[in-house]
């Protein structure tokens, strides 16, 4: 994405001269949407970002959790994954792991949030296989388990999948890398040799995908998980010996971004010698400056610690170069073969322009508000279609390719619970619940309420596993910000998040924005999306809850059901429609019911807990009933619904299901105000309403095979 004429004029005025080729490349990389947030910065300030337990920002958010710090972050790698699914997804994992490592935290878990196109399309299957394999191979080889995620399918994403990876790390309180670089501190680049792969990848991520994207392969980085593992081990050892002042991943923008952002943050300048960097191939100065070769990190080291740092890097066979130092000049100065090739104010480069772009709701969007007229619903057929929908059915095919046991921390594993639950300390029961959630239909139909709904779904998932929600990070994906009718979706999603995080007192402490998620072939943007990764504190991981039930357990529902079917899986799977308003977010009800669940979650006799989300009561009950069966009594479901399909498939929030033993039932009902709506057992899925009964004997097979039947 070339610099605009206005940006070029601004640069010339600041420098009082024509910029050099290297400087042009630096500004092109750093002033891209991917690095500078020039269109989104104004609106992202609406987010709270702070709480007493939030320790720092930077490449990863860090929060205090008992005796340790927890670092976490989510970031997309959409464009690279569309062009080269395997390498795009793998390098996305590598980048997010290094973001966590930069704080001094040991990476302990990965999660992914994936949105693909129509599974009947060959291109979609190619995306799925490549992305899953890329995530699996990289995570498995660096020894970081992939413990959870979210997967969606929608025809809007046939050409443009959304691929985000989240990582969580843990750090002892006395080992956080959070120093202040000072003039004279050395700049070391450690890790892989720099090459021409990933040249101006940040610029590639800041434009629309076009026909013939094969030419963009040069913008896609090449993964090297072996080097990543060596970086992890060497940096953690240097952390333990307190040899590092500051660490930053060399991600989007390469040296241009990493060095300028650190210099600007601490009101410093930098002096860099590009020809000192270890290279994979002959390169020009501008290529060295903006290469995004993977598995590289910038280490800031005091001169007196250089020898000890070098010993550790050599011990792990990690290539490195001392390429310069920070200065008090406030300018970023670069030399190449004895010639000065760049001299720009670091803060001017790092911060870039802030744009105040117009936005307006597109007229065509208004017609989506009205809920469509639907014909008479044959309940058994509707249940079958919803249960076997790829958005609902088991993703075992995906998560069984991931190693979720490595590091022996995973207490609640993929497919077992609403959240992954991880042990933080070897000898103590303290842990975290972690989840990631999205719903592109909700944020498309109503970006404000839809974003809030996604956030609250993550909130419930953490609670249902036994965690008290603590903090969240977001990944926001939208179309071209230069078009007001596309930018409107982004602004409204941010507004929804800013509102709901304050209502439930769970701050969003970091995140990432991805624009230009559309292509010139179809002329369409993807459905704008919000991906939320949330963590919660689990006091005792031994008491974490799973999505399960046992023969004879009573089924208790907590929360009211309203006829909210806009944007529902029922409407899509049965009638092929994406229409209506998504459920109304009810933060107060969410908080009240969450407290009720957390009060009973450790009681003896509570077998399992599950939140009600996509697919409604039908899906939640069926998922709990695997292996035992369930009978639902719809007439007992509390709320203001009128028709059986509304009770079964409404996606109203603030609702949970509890599987309870008879001896604990009275206590659970007393503490939660819940209501018994069924019983587990019988081996099939039965629904009673009035004098009628519907039975779906093969409900488990539908759940298990609904996705796999497409993948073969």
Give yes or no: 449 in active site. no
| 419 marked as part of a ligand binding site | no
Nearest partner of 461 among 111, 63, 107, 77, judged by Cα: 111
| 291 marked as part of a ligand binding site | no
Residue with tokens 């896609």: 220
* Tokens matching residue 328: 């008090």
Spatial neighbors of 122 by CB under 8 A, at least 6 apart, are: none
In angstroms and rounded to an integer, the radius of gyration of the C-alpha atoms of the chain is 26
Catalytic residue of the set 77, 404, 449, 610: 77
Nearest partner of 656 among 592, 595, 609, judged by Cα: 609
DSSP 3-state percent helix, strand, coil across the chain (nearest 5): 40, 25, 35
| 76 marked as part of a ligand binding site | yes
Q: How far apart are CA 586 and CA 449, in angstroms?
A: 10
Calculate the alpha carbon distances from 680 to 423, 548, 608, 657 in Å.
Answer: 30, 10, 12, 12
| 437 marked as part of a ligand binding site | no
Asked if 128 and 45 count as a contact pair (C-beta separation under 8 A), the reply is no
Spatial neighbors of 456 by CB under 8 A, at least 6 apart, are: 500, 504, 585, 587, 590, 653, 654
Neighbours of 180 (CB within 10 A): 11
* Tokens matching residue 239: 């952390």
| 36 marked as part of a ligand binding site | no
| 409 marked as part of a ligand binding site | no
CA 274 to chain centre: 34
Catalytic residue of the set 34, 43, 127, 610: 34
* Tokens matching residue 387: 């249960």
| 79 marked as part of a ligand binding site | yes
| 593 marked as part of a ligand binding site | no
Instruction: Encode 223-243 in three state secondary structure.
Output: CCHHHHHHHHHHHHHHHHCCC
Cβ burial, residue 65 (10 Å; 0-12/13-18/19+): buried
Tell me the Ramachandran region of residue 184: left when phi exceeds 0, alpha when psi lies from -120 to 50, beta otherwise.
left
| 293 marked as part of a ligand binding site | yes
Calculate the alpha carbon distances from 527 to 155, 272, 376, 576 in Å.
Answer: 10, 43, 29, 16
| 77 marked as part of a ligand binding site | yes
Spatial neighbors of 684 by CB under 8 A, at least 6 apart, are: 629, 695, 696, 697, 699
Spatial neighbors of 96 by CB under 8 A, at least 6 apart, are: 73, 74, 75, 110, 165, 166, 167
| 78 marked as part of a ligand binding site | yes
| 37 marked as part of a ligand binding site | yes
Asked if 479 and 517 count as a contact pair (C-beta separation under 8 A), the reply is yes
Half-sphere exposure in the Cβ direction for 601 (13 Å, CA): 28
Strands (E), 180-328: 186-191, 246-249, 269-273, 296-301, 320-327
Spatial neighbors of 412 by CB under 8 A, at least 6 apart, are: 419, 420, 421, 433, 465, 544, 546
| 332 marked as part of a ligand binding site | no
Task: Report the run of H or E that residue 488 belongs to, with start and end.
Answer: helix 484-504
The string of DSSP letters for 377-422 reads --HHHHHHHHHTSTTTS--HHHHTTS---GGG-EEE-TTTSSSEEE
Q: Which residues carry a binding-site annotation for substrate?
A: 76-79, 98, 221, 292-294, 514
Q: Which residues carry a binding-site annotation?
A: 37, 73, 75-79, 98-99, 221, 249, 292-294, 474, 511, 514
Which residues does the annotation mark as catalytic? 34, 77
């Amino acid at each position: 994405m070339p610099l605009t004429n206005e940006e070029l004029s601004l640069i010339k005025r600041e420098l009082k001269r024509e910029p050099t080729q290297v400087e042009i490349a630096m500004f092109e990389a750093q002033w891209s949407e991917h690095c500078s947030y020039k269109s989104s910065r104004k609106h992202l300030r609406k987010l709270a970002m702070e709480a007493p337990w939030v320790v720092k920002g930077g490449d990863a958010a860090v929060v205090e959790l008992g005796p340790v710090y927890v670092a976490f972050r989510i970031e997309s790698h959409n464009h690279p994954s569309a062009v080269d699914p395997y390498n795009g997804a793998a390098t996305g994992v590598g980048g997010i792991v290094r973001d966590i490592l930069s704080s001094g935290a040991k990476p302990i878990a990965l999660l992914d949030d994936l949105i693909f196109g129509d599974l009947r399309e060959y291109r979609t299957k190619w995306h799925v296989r490549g992305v899953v394999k890329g995530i699996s191979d990289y995570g498995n080889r660096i020894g970081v388990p992939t413990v959870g995620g979210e997967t969606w399918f929608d025809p809007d994403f046939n050409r443009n999948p959304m691929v985000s990876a989240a990582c969580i790390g843990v750090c002892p309180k006395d080992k956080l890398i959070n120093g202040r670089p000072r003039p004279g501190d050395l700049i070391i680049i450690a890790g892989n040799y720099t090459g021409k792969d990933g040249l101006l990848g940040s610029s590639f991520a800041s434009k629309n995908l076009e026909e013939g994207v094969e030419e963009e392969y040069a913008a896609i980085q090449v993964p090297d998980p072996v080097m990543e593992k060596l970086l992890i081990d060497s940096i953690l050892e240097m952390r333990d010996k307190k040899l590092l002042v500051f660490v930053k991943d060399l991600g989007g923008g390469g040296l241009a971004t990493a060095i300028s952002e650190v210099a600007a943050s601490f009101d410093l300048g930098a002096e860099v010698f590009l020809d000192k960097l270890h290279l994979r191939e002959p390169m020009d100065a501008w290529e060295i400056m903006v290469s995004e070769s993977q598995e590289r990190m910038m280490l800031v080291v005091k001169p007196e610690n250089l020898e000890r740092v070098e010993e550790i890097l050599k011990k792990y066979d990690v290539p490195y170069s001392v390429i310069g130092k920070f200065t008090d000049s406030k300018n970023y100065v670069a030399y190449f073969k004895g010639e000065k090739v760049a001299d720009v104010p670091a803060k001017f480069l790092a911060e870039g322009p802030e744009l105040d772009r117009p936005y307006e709701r597109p007229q065509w969007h208004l017609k989506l508000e009205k809920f469509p007229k639907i014909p008479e619903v044959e309940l058994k057929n509707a249940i079958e279609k919803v249960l076997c929908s790829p958005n609902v059915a088991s993703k075992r095919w995906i998560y069984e390719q991931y190693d979720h046991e490595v590091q022996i921390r995973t207490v609640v594993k993929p497919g077992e619970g609403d959240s992954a639950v991880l042990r933080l300390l070897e000898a103590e029961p303290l842990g975290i619940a972690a989840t990631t959630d999205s719903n592109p239909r909700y944020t498309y139909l109503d970006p404000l309420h839809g974003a809030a709904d996604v956030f609250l779904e993550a909130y419930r998932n953490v609670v249902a596993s036994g965690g008290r929600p603590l903090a969240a990070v977001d990944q926001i994906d939208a179309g071209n910000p230069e078009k007001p009718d596309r930018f409107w979706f982004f602004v409204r999603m941010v507004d929804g998040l800013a509102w709901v995080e304050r209502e439930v007192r769970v701050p969003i402490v970091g995140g990432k924005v991805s624009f230009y998620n559309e292509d010139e072939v179809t002329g369409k943007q993807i459905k704008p999306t919000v991906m939320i990764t949330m963590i919660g504190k689990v006091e005792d991981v031994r008491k974490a809850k799973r999505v399960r039930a046992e023969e004879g357990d009573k089924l208790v529902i907590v929360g009211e059901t309203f006829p909210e079917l806009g944007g529902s899986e029922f409407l899509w799977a049965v009638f092929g429609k994406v229409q209506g308003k998504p459920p109304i977010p009810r933060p107060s009800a969410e908080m009240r019911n969450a407290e009720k669940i957390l009060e009973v979650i450790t009681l003896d006799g509570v077998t399992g807990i599950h939140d009600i989300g996509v697919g409604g009561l039908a899906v939640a009950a069926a998922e709990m009933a695997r292996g035992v069966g369930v009978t639902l009594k719809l007439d007992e479901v509390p709320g203001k619904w009128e028709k059986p399909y509304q009770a079964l498939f409404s996606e109203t929030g603030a609702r949970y299901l509890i599987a309870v033993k008879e001896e604990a039932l009275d206590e659970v009902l007393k503490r939660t105000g819940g209501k018994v709506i069924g019983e587990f057992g019988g081996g099939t899925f039965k629904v009673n309403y009035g004098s009628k009964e519907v039975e779906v004997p093969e409900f488990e097979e539908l759940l298990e095979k609904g996705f796999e039947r497409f993948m073969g």
